[in-house]
Amino acid sequence: DTGVSQDPRHKITKRGQNVTFRCDPISEHNRLYWYRQTLGQGPEFLTYFQNEAQLEKSRLLSDRFSAERPKGSFSTLEIQRTEQGDSAMYLCASSLLPSGRGETQYFGPGTRLLVL
């Protein structure tokens, strides 16, 4: 499978614990995005990387959230001191720039987080 992959697919944790998610983008893609999606809503942008540089962060991304893409390939998203409001689907997407098709973003299957 040459698509975007995410691990784990599901995570249940207790409030106050730290969690880390991993995303492996499509191999030649230089841009990687993180989004969060809650039930009945569209995905909301969190942050994105071009190669290893984190170029933009949403105001949704509190200090408890940190993301890395150390070698410009896979990325990790860590949430510290989880809260029940962090329960959501965390989606990763990747894209290739430059692109002739508007830099289409391709999504992974997501990590569903439940904070008890």
Whose CA is closest to 31, among 107, 94, 103?
94
**CB-side exposure of 81: number of CA atoms within 13 Å?**
3
Nearer to another protein, 14 or 102 (CB): 102
Nearer to another protein, 72 or 109 (CB): 109
Nearer to another protein, 43 or 86 (CB): 43
85 binds another protein per the rule CB under 8 A: no
- Distance in Å, CB of 31 to another protein, minimum: 7
- 105: enclosing H helix or E strand: none
Which residues bind to another protein, rule: CB under 8 A?
4, 31, 33, 40-45, 48, 55-56, 58, 91, 95, 97, 101-110, 112
